[in-house]
């Protein structure tokens, strides 16, 4: 119930294309859903996040779509660029006795071809 399932494991997209990464969760107590971008040798960096009372959030080329009834959310990267090549993690946050804890998806390795 604490898992966050992420797919696909890897993704190859042409420059200018749309990258789509999907995540699903079971625990309805999760209250916040961030996405992280990680480059090799770096720590994960917060990319964009959404709360469950919102169905979509857009920041630049990055959009989160959230389907509360299906317990699914996805990251869309529009006009994908070679610089977007990285590993992306979805996450879900719960509040455990006043402490925020995150469960991370298994990651998607994105490669954008020039």
Q: Which of 67, 82, 100, 113 is in the footprint of other proteins by CB under 8 A?
A: 100
Segment near other proteins (CB under 8 A); pick from 12-20, 42-50, 56-64, 68-76: 42-50
Q: Which of 19, 44, 80, 112 is in the footprint of other proteins by CB under 8 A?
A: 44
CB of 87 to other proteins, least distance (A): 9
Tokens linked to 105: 């998806």
Nearest to 100 by CA among 52, 34, 39, 43: 34
d(CA 84, CA 103): 23
Q: Decide if 55 contacts 65 (C-beta within 8 A).
A: yes
d(CA 31, CA 53): 9
Judged by CB under 8 A, does residue 102 bind other proteins?
A: yes
Residue numbers of the site for other proteins (CB under 8 A)? 32, 34, 41-46, 49, 89, 91, 93, 99-102, 104-107
């Amino acid at each position: 119930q604490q898992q966050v399932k992420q797919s696909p494991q890897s993704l190859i997209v042409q420059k200018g294309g749309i990258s789509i990464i999907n995540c699903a969760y079971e625990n309805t107590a999760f209250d916040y859903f961030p996405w992280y971008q990680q480059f090799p040798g770096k720590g994960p960096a917060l990319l964009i996040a959404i709360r469950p009372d919102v169905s979509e959030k857009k920041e630049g080329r990055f959009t989160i779509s959230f389907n509360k009834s299906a317990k699914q959310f996805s990251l869309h990267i529009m006009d994908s660029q070679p610089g977007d090549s990285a590993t992306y993690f979805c996450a879900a946050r719960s509040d455990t006795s006043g402490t925020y804890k995150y469960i991370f998806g298994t990651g998607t390795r994105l490669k954008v071809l020039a």
